[in-house]
Amino acid sequence: MAVKGVFASDSGIVGDRKGDFASSLLKVMPNGTAPLLALTSGMKSADAQDTVITWFEENHETGRVGITNAASTGTSIVVSTNDATVVIAGQIYLVESTGEYIFINSVSSVTATVTRGFAGTTNTTVDGSSTVKYMQLIANAQEEGSSKPTAIATIGFPVFNYMQIFRNTWQATGTAQAVAFHTGNVMAKNRKDNGMFHSEAIEKSIIWGKKSLGIQNSQPFRTMDGILSFFTTNVSTQSTNVSYTDLRGFLEGVFSHNIDGEPNERIAFCGHDVLSVVDTIAHTHTQFNVDETTTGFGMDIKRLRTPFGNISLMTHPLMVENPVWTKDLYVMHPAAIRVRYLRRTHEDNYDADGRRAGVDADYGVLTTEMSLEYKGERTGGSYTGIDTPDTSAL
């Protein structure tokens, strides 16, 4: 297990990063204000050598191709421009609207010459000129002694992110160190609080960060994209009451893609409003039997089970505090996340018993320079505005 009891992706990573900032958070503050940063101690991590990181986002080709002409029952079919690169001779397609099978004989640009009514199916009129009709790739077949078929290349597209510098300072004056505090050693407390502020800053950027590049105080200045910025496919905003069907449909999209070689699992963060909506939906569609011996009433629903996959709803303390984020649900694949470090978290200690350069204080600075990859954006998603349940029907 990468993080025992939470997720299994990238098993065996824990131990490789013993002693770093994220793994320390997982040990000392697993329920603190930066749970995702803590969990990254069990996810992929790599050092970087530049202030810009780049990776390729490759989407699985489903083989669903659009027909855009009035093909009728003829042997010439025009396909969508974006689909033309995956249509080659020797493929067999199923026309979704009619059930007809079509065999591809040759392709020129976006026009395919085909055999209609393949394998004993009925040649049926297809017109995609006004509304695109779709056909689904079933297989390919070649004759004996055939020539080499045309190759299909999946190039993908580049995605990049910037390194961001995080810095937080702790300080304890000579007077503060001399005063007795109920909280104990003031330096220890200030250093611990500084670590919390540092981890919260990183946590918020990992989730909600936005990429930017500029100049600040005559020096290069960069911020990074957070995970939500990478989600483009499974992004939903609720404008009406949320039903179980809505939640199930969202999760169907999230679980429809996976990372090669990894469990098809997800981690999810949400606020209290989301839990309240899920709880109300569960109450609405559940029968309670209460008798005189019953001493408790209610449900503790923190796990959503669907035919496509299950998620455990983990309340994020920073989302609970915010009136907007508490209505949001973020679902992500742990194997898709990779943290990249240009400079791992380190502390510059200026502890000189209040005698450093005449300054009557001891202080120190935490610095981290890092960025984030999310490779496989279709494996995650965001569902926002979940605040009112639909109690009428499933």
Do 101 and 131 share a domain, yes or no? yes
pLDDT at 29: 56
Number of other residues whose CB lies within 10 A of the CB of residue 229 = 17
* pLDDT confidence tier of residue 35, bands split at 50, 70 and 90: confident
Write the CA distances from 4 to 41, 74, 234, integer angstroms.
12, 59, 27
Do 179 and 202 share a domain, yes or no? yes
Q: How does DSSP classify residue 355?
A: -
Mean pLDDT computed over 361-374 = 91
**Within-domain flag for 358:** yes
Using one digit for the tens of pLDDT, what is the confidence trace for 269-326? Answer: 999 999 999 888 887 777 666 677 766 655 556 788 888 888 888 899 999 999 999 9
Do 107 and 181 share a domain, yes or no? no
Domain final residue pick, 113, 140, 167? 140
Using one digit for the tens of pLDDT, what is the confidence trace for 115-126? Answer: 999 999 999 999
Using one digit for the tens of pLDDT, what is the confidence trace for 89-140? Answer: 999 999 999 999 999 999 999 999 999 999 999 999 999 999 999 999 999 9
Do 377 and 242 share a domain, yes or no? yes
Write the CA distances from 152 to 63, 66, 260, 367, integer angstroms.
12, 18, 19, 46
Do 215 and 324 share a domain, yes or no? yes
Do 380 and 342 share a domain, yes or no? yes
**Within-domain flag for 6:** no
Sign of torsion, CA 183 184 186 189?
A: negative
**Within-domain flag for 8:** no
Percentage of the chain surpassing pLDDT 90? 49
Using one digit for the tens of pLDDT, what is the confidence trace for 347-362? Answer: 887 766 656 667 788 8
Do 312 and 190 share a domain, yes or no? yes
More confident residue, 84 or 167: 167
> Is residue 84 over pLDDT 50?
yes
User: Of 224, 232, 281, 267, nearest to 253 (Cα)?
Assistant: 232
* pLDDT confidence tier of residue 17, bands split at 50, 70 and 90: very low
Mean pLDDT computed over 217-225 = 96
Q: Phi and psi for 68 in degrees, rounded to 5? A: -115, 0
Domain final residue pick, 111, 140, 169? 140
Identify the residue whose tokens are 């990049």. 160
pLDDT at 239: 73
Using one digit for the tens of pLDDT, what is the confidence trace for 147-186? Answer: 898 887 766 678 999 999 999 998 888 888 788 766 667 8
Q: Phi and psi for 367 in degrees, rounded to 5? A: -130, 135
- State the total domains in the chain: 2
pLDDT at 1: 38
Most confident of 175-179, 186-190, 366-370: 366-370
CATH number at 256 reads: 3.90.1690
Least confident of 22-36, 107-121, 163-177, 191-205: 22-36
**Within-domain flag for 48:** yes
pLDDT at 303: 80
Do 191 and 305 share a domain, yes or no? yes
Residue numbers of the domain that contains 134: 64-140
**Within-domain flag for 332:** yes
Sheet holding 310-315, edge to edge: 235-237, 381-384, 329-332, 267-270, 310-315, 303-305
**Within-domain flag for 88:** yes
The alpha carbon of residue 81 and the mean position of all alpha carbons in its chain are separated, in whole angstroms, by 29
What token pair was written down for 58? Answer: 């490759």
Do 99 and 130 share a domain, yes or no? yes
Do 104 and 167 share a domain, yes or no? no
**Within-domain flag for 269:** yes
Domain final residue pick, 140, 167, 184? 140
Do 246 and 335 share a domain, yes or no? yes
Using one digit for the tens of pLDDT, what is the confidence trace for 385-394? Answer: 999 988 775 4
Do 124 and 189 share a domain, yes or no? no
**Within-domain flag for 150:** no
